[in-house]
Each structure stands twice: as C-alpha cells, then as structure tokens.
Amino acid sequence: MSESSAEAELVIPADDLVLPFQAEQADVLGRLVKIGPTVDSILSRHAYPEPVSRLLGEAVALTALLGAALKFEGKFILQASTDGPVDLLVADYQVPGALRGYARFSAERLAAFEAGDEFSLLGDGHLAMTIDRGQDTERYQGVVPLEGESLTEAAHTYFRQSEQLPTFIRLAVARHYRAGTGGEGAWTWRAGGLLVQKLTREGGKTSPKDFEEDWTRAKTLAETVEDHELLDPLLPPERLLYRLFHEEQVRVYRAVPLETYCSCSRERVEELLSRFTPEELADMVVDGEMWVTCEFCNARYQFDPAAFGIE
C-alpha cells in the first residue's frame, strides 16, 4: 500500500497514539507508539530526576506497545522490582488506551549512579508483565529476570523465552522544546517506540529458510529507525512506517488514541484506610492531620483522624 492511499483510508492522529501495522511482504506485524502530552503529564506530576523520568518514560512507551494488543476490556501491567537505585517501576495500560505510571527510587543511590558508581538504574530483580481481564477471569503473568539490563533487553528476553516469537523493540525518551506564543516556550517530555514481530503463516506454509529470510529483512529495516524519528512531533506516524517498510507493502490499521488516567478517588482512599488497624492509622497522623498521596497521579487527600476514631 502506498503512503498516499494509507492516508486516504485512515485519519490518523499525529500524537498520543499506538498505530498497528502489517508489513505484508515480510509477513510481520507491529505497532508504533508516539506519545507527547500524555507521557509529559505522567512524568511532570512527580518532578522526578531526569534519569528516573527517562526510565519511567520508557516503561510507559513499552506498556503502550504491549497493552494495545488487548482487544477487549482489561488491563496490562508492567512492574519492575529491583535492588537498583530505582527499586520499583510500575506502568499500566487500561483498554481502550489509558496510561499511568510511577517510580520509586533512592536519592542516595541515584546520586551514586549519576557519579558512575552504579552500573544500572534497575540493577538485579525481575520484570513482571500481567494481563488482567477482570474479576471473573484468571490473571496471566509472565516474569523474566533483570540482571542490570534495560527494559528493552528484558522484553526481548521475555518474547524469546516465553512466547518464542522473533521480536524487535526500540524505545526512545527525551525532553523536547515546544515553542509557545509570545516567544515563550517550554521543555516537555516525549516518548516513542517500535515493536515488530514475525508470525508464522497459517498452516505452516512458510519454509524455515523463507521464515528466517523474511525476519532478517524486516528486522534489518526496523533497526534503521532513529530516536529522533520516534520522537519528532512533526513526523506523522504513518509516514515513518512508510519510510521504514514501503518495500514490504506496509499497511496501517486504525490507531489507538492514548490518554492519561488514574483510578484514585476520595471514596476509594477512604475505603482503603478503613482496612487499617487503629494503631496503624494513628501512625499516619502528623501534627493532628492525616494525608494520603496517590502514587500515580500525586493527588493528595486530607482526612479527619476523628472520623476513624483517632483522637
């Protein structure tokens, strides 16, 4: 399919989207994600140090790439637990395209990382990827070890070992200067990613040799993508895919719009507090006040200790 015909068939948003595609000649499927205001909102709420923001941005982009495979109601959750400077990293995707995420880190160990004394922000631990389709269905979870690897490397390990699918993933995160009115502008976060997977033809019609040649060709093309292409807000996503895979008869499908969300509310926090013992609640009171902060959206809720029987 030509670039012009793809543009004529589908109206594709320029930003905050996952764009599924198929390169028919090589028989590969993939998804391209470009995220602007949504990832900037997630990262800016916490004012993380830049290395932590960059890592969480990668997690959000990877979560969007993988979560967009869900076709029905459900949630995809990515969680990294490690002994590194960032000891907890969580991002989740809720159908049809809602994202959120947060990171927990040690300021002291982060300083050691920035000084070159720490090898990796994540360190050793594990990466868990969970599909939750609701209360009436069983959760599916895949876990792979983290051994000083990047999120991309860990995801490659998962698909190679658990799914046995030839997979290519590229993630990019950076701050972008956005010009404003009156000569004023601002630095905002952007994230992007590309996922390509080789699938066997129905009935096993592809010979092992053709399978390998097709995948090698598609992977070689995917590897030419540059970070700036994934992050450029002025480069339409369908044009980037055409640039990469036009010789493979690339076809794009309906884009999945992305937005940020959070499920917290005053009522939910109050219900959660009701599960604590009086002693635990008393420990939460500081200067006669009880505050609870949502780890995802950073919203703060104040409660009267007396409402929980705490004097």
Q: Could you tell me if 134 and 24 lie in one domain?
A: yes
**Cα distance between residue 252 and residue 24, in whole Å:** 11
The answer to whether residue 6 is domain-embedded is no
Q: Could you tell me if 73 and 28 lie in one domain?
A: yes
Cβ atoms of 290 and 284 within 8 Å: the answer is yes
Domain that holds residue 35: 16-260
Low-confidence ranges of the chain (pLDDT < 70): 1-11, 180-183, 200-206
Q: Could you tell me if 101 and 30 lie in one domain?
A: yes
Q: Could you tell me if 245 and 277 lie in one domain?
A: no
The CATH number of whichever domain residue 275 belongs to comes to: 3.90.1280.10
In this prediction, residue 308 carries a pLDDT of 83
Q: Could you tell me if 296 and 196 lie in one domain?
A: no
In this prediction, residue 1 carries a pLDDT of 44
* CB-based contacts of 304, cutoff 8 Å, min separation 6: 290
The CATH number of whichever domain residue 64 belongs to comes to: 3.55.30.10
Q: Could you tell me if 190 and 81 lie in one domain?
A: yes
In this prediction, residue 202 carries a pLDDT of 53
**Cα distance between residue 213 and residue 219, in whole Å:** 10
pLDDT tens track for 34-62: 999 999 999 999 889 999 999 999 999 99
Q: Could you tell me if 203 and 278 lie in one domain?
A: no
The total number of structural domains in the chain stands at 2
Task: Determine phi and psi for 241, rounding to 5 degrees.
Answer: -65, -40
Cβ atoms of 303 and 273 within 8 Å: the answer is yes
